[in-house]
Amino acid sequence: MTAVRAVVFDLGHTLWDFAPREESRRLKVVRLHERLSRALDGAVPAPTELDRALGATAQRWFESWIKQPEDLEQPPTERLIGEALASLALSVSDDLLHELTCIVFGAELDIPVMEPDSLAAIAGLHQRGLAMGCVTNTITLEEGIHDALARLGLRHYLRSVVASSAAGYRKPHPSLFLRALEGLDVEPGEAVFVGDRLFDDVSGAQAVGMRAVLTHQYRQEPLDGASVAPDAVIQRLGDLPAVIQRLNNRRA
């Protein structure tokens, strides 16, 4: 077994958790309403109706992904906004649609929050010379993911960032993992993936030849009866450096 040279992380419920921010969501919808009103001369439903349409459309997307897990294609986030507007009999130009998408999904809807020992673990792995990156399933635009990483002090450490909203596929599609590895210039056998989901993260990473670590820090997905088995399980991200050391010791 090859020594670990790189670590690739999932983001939500792996590197960070989320703190809901209803005020931010409300302001996004207000900004959306204001921009539409200027473009359509005021012929726009109330912000509450826009909010309901967005929520219903997003829920349909998420439910379809759950019901059809084998269909891993992800349409551009602009399409979600377009479908929500169409449900209200509204139509806009492609340029305006992109602008509206940036208003709503240009940043994470909820606040990413990270434990201090998690950031310390990342810094420690960096000091040991490990290359790091991330792969995330998200409808947030890729630039919003980069902004969140920068705010949390992670952008310096994560050299390769892959977001499903830009890639056109969701995990466990192999292209996302391979793109992250290409960005780090490592082979699959030289990398470990860390995530909180057995299907998206563990099975996807192992399918391309990576080792996979399941984290229970924010979500506790049961292992009993699972069709895949992680190479290791951690309770906190702070446990990861020791796990990587054990994985390396197995090759001795």
Q: Which fold has domain 6-18+112-249?
A: Rossmann fold (3.40.50)
Structural domain boundaries of the chain?
Answer: 6-18+112-249, 21-105
Instruction: List, in order, residues 6 or more apart from 163 with CB less than 8 Å away.
Output: 136, 138, 140, 141, 142, 145
Q: Which residues pair with 77 in a beta bridge?
A: none
In angstroms, the Cα distances linking 134 to 14, 182, 187, 189, 221 are 10, 12, 15, 17, 20
**How much is the pLDDT for 49?**
97
- Condensed to tens digits (0 to 9), the pLDDT of residues 33-72 reads 999 999 999 889 999 999 999 999 999 999 999 888 889 9
Instruction: List, in order, residues 6 or more apart from 245 with CB less than 8 Å away.
Output: none
The amino acid sitting at 141 is L
Residue 74: pLDDT over 90: yes
- Condensed to tens digits (0 to 9), the pLDDT of residues 8-31 reads 999 999 999 998 777 888 899 999
pTM tops 0.75:
yes
